[in-house]
Structure 1
Amino acid sequence: MIDKATLDRAVSAGILDATQREALIALAFASSSTDPAATDTVSLSVDDQLRLVGGGNDIFVTVGIVLLFSGALFALQAVFPSNSIVLAALLAAASWAVAEIVTRQKRMRLSSTLLALVFSASVFAILSDFISSRFGLPDAVDFLSLPALRDDALPMGLMMSGGLIAAASLYFARFKVPVLAAVIAVAATGLAFLAAVLVYYDQITSGAIAPVAQQLAEVLSNALVVPLVCGLIIFAVAVFLDLHDRERQTVWSDCAFWLHVVSAPLLVHPLFILATGQEVLDGSIEPATGAALLLGLMMALFVLVALAIDRRSLLAPTLAYFGSIGIYYLISGAANTTGIPPFALVLVSIGAIVILFGAGWQRIRGLIIRPLLPTSLLDRLPPIKA
């Protein structure tokens, strides 16, 4: 069957118009109960698909968007101040208007992703400027002045996160751009972390926690629960979307991809610190007994989960994190005795793992996941390709 990418290229090349494209998709699904309006492809292989680039014309239009908005930004800055709400509002309106053509009519993926990010950044700037003027904030807020903002911190956080989530949701409802799922997840996580910081701040100011370095480090360590819980929630939503669309034929599968990208660092970073006993304030690591074993088990667990749900987007940030931080400390002792730079061994280790999984992902899935999980669960997971 012809996939959606081919139909998109046909529309871009002028072979089909948008109406004919939708008619072909409706015809393809005429004998199926699947709703064509909710489907993002006609036929796709299940291999952690990310429908991000729609072809050469999509890249060409993306370059044009970069040039257009860069020129518009420099031109508007000559008329309005760089922190002007009007400037940000104009960029947001322009990104929406261009998306009406690029996303709604032409369905160009990379261009649509860029426009969605421009819109989100513009909304963020609008909210920042509004909050600054509403609460009379100075241009630069240093660390020592943050306690003075305690009474207004929660309203500011609600305005920022709530406004960004509302704007991203409205944009998604109109254009169905998957990257906005990551924007919403990050905004919600930021609000949750702010709430936790305020709770710990109140404990310090009330005398429940002494404001000395040891207690402050303990408070920050306890705050790691927030990103960990948020990461678990985001991961659960992504898995739900994957199980709901195990053939990965709709836009919700792409949303799940971005949610996995967001959830991975939120899960890995707190677990790494808890496993190694890293000092939150100075970043030094004094691994407790069995830390190396815990890190190895953590990596194995993430690999198994990524293989089970067929999501390299979950595994890639994990390998990058452990490669840059965790594995460095585990192999530095061996590197010091051989004279080989630890960074070189890190690159070799991670590179070998990435190539191995990249070249034989589905084969590895079959060898590990098939005998490990019961058939009832395998039938709900993405199919394992032969």
Structure 2
Amino acid sequence: MTELRSILDEAVRRELISSEAGGRLLPFLIERGVAVAGATPAMAAEEQAWSDTETPRFVRGFHDVLITIGVIVALVGLWGLAPLYAVPPAIIVLSEILVRRQRLALPAVSLTIALFCWTFLLMSRVFTPWTSEIGAELTQFVAGFPILLGIYYARYRVPLSLALAIISTLALVLTLLLRLVQSLSGNPAFFVDHLAVLAAVSLVCALGLFATALYFDLGDRLRRTTRSDIAFWLHLGAAPALLYSTVSLLSLGEGGRIFDLANASARTPVVVATVAALMLIGLIIDRRAFVTSGLLSLGVAIFSVFRHGSATVDTYIFTTLIVVGAIVLIVGTGWMPLRRQVLRALPAAISQRLPPG
């Protein structure tokens, strides 16, 4: 099965078939006993082990790492010496060589991030969205991201570029919703006076992002196609979006503000409960990336608890590190046993659609 999967992956890379067709074709061929000469039971065991792990496929060897270092150093040097408009041609040339021809995964990620950063700087120079009022310039600022990243994905098929295009599209929808509510209210400072509405609209968009990630994830439960890679990046964005919008909505009475952890001490129970819920969701869908995204906020919340005690600065800093580290180790080492317990508690109709435990 490993060899058969490799052949189908190669067909996808050469654009002979789509990634979705490859994902559907593999179980179809396996069910009918199709195999490649030389396949052994050991290979089947290896395939099963691979299916049970969350394996991002953007690092395939140190060759990719070496090339990526060269890409980053060259682009940083170009960024410092040349005008801003000289960077996109360099990104395109490198993408044609490293992504479209050589199919190098990690350089593709670095080039996608470079394009995202360039788009951010370009939009910041053209528009000035950093005001308290949610106006047209904020919408125009966000609109550039899905357009450029979508074009990049259409040409190079990098999963991260599609994930960023989806995330920025939902951000664009969020700004349009906020502008619509603001316009209907007739008050330019509506969201300053009604933070609960701002948090609720943000939570709706965060749930939309999470649902999109699940759409890609559940469409490839054995994680053999690029749908799984796209879901990986979407989950990285969905977890903090869900965390901060939920915490802001639940703690507005305690002075909470969206995407603001400066007053986290009053909101520590809310943050801890929300992170615990995200950890449970991550276990169910078998996404460690989903869990990892909430650990920073958990650390800030625990830090605030010790800070308001009688301990010294060094004590509560290192105590926070020990607590967060212990949680990571417990969840990390006991991931599969914990997940099996959770899957047993779920209805069969749900557990059969999830990655096997």
- 1:375 corresponds to which residue? 348
Aligned match for 2:62, one of 56, 61, 65? 56
* Pairwise CA distance, 1:280: 4.0
C-alpha displacement at 1:48, in angstroms? 1.7
Give the whole-Å Cα distance in 2 for the aligned partners of 1:71 and 1:284: 39
Structure 1 residue 111: Cα displacement: 0.6
Once residues 207 and 115 of structure 1 are traced to their aligned partners in structure 2, the CA distance between those partners, rounded to angstroms, is 39
Contact map agreement 1:275 1:287 (CA 8 A) in 2: no
Deviation at 1:61, TM superposition (A): 0.6
Greater C-alpha Rg: 1
Shift of 1:311: 0.4
Q: For the residues of structure 2 that align with 1:52 and 1:74, how far apart are their CA atoms? A: 27
Q: Structure 1 170/3 Cα, relative in aligned 2: closer, same or farther at 3 Å?
A: farther
Does the 8 Å contact 2:243/2:275 carry over to 1? no
Could you tell me which residue of structure 2 aligns to residue 123 of structure 1? Answer: 119
Q: 2: CA distance between counterparts of 1:30 and 1:245?
A: 12
Aligned pair 1:235/2:210, yes or no? yes
From 276, 290, 298, the counterpart of 1:314:
290
Alignment of 1:163-202 (within 5 A): 163-198=144-179, 202=183
Contact 2:285–2:354, Cα closer than 8 Å, also in 1: yes
Match of 2:299 in 1: 323
Give 2:39's aligned residue: none
* Whole-angstrom distance in 1 between the partners of 2:185 and 2:215: 39
RMSD: 4.0
Contact kept? 1:260, 1:314, Cα under 8 Å: yes
Q: CA separation of 1:303/1:75 partners in 2, compared to 1, >3 Å: closer, same or farther?
A: closer
* Aligned twin of 1:224: 199
Q: Partners of 1:350 and 1:112 in 2: how far apart? A: 32
- State how far apart, in whole Å, the 1-side matches of 2:273 and 2:119 are: 41
Secondary structure of the residue aligned to 1:179 is helix
Written as runs of structure 1 = structure 2, the 5 A alignment for 1:136-151 is 143=131
DSSP 3-state at the match of 1:240: helix
2:294 partner amino acid:
T
**Which structure 2 residues correspond to residues 232-271 of structure 1 after superposition, within 5 A?**
232-271=207-246
Contiguous gaps of at least 5 residues in structure 1: 12-17, 35-41, 78-86, 210-214
Q: Cα distance, 1:353 vs. partner?
A: 0.9
Identity of aligned residues (%): 26
Runs of 5+ in structure 2 lacking a partner?
30-45
Whole-Å Cα distance in 1 between the matches of residues 307 and 282 of structure 2? Answer: 27
**Among candidates 321, 324, 328, match of residue 354 of structure 1:** 328
Deviation at 1:3, TM superposition (A): 9.8
Whichever residue aligns with residue 102 of structure 1, its letter is L
Q: Give the total of aligned pairs.
A: 330
Q: CA 1:123 to 1:340, structure 2 compared with 1: closer, same or farther past 3 Å? A: closer
With normalisation by structure 2, the TM-score equals 0.77
CA contact (8 A) 2:91 2:115 kept: yes
Cα displacement (A) at 1:4: 8.6
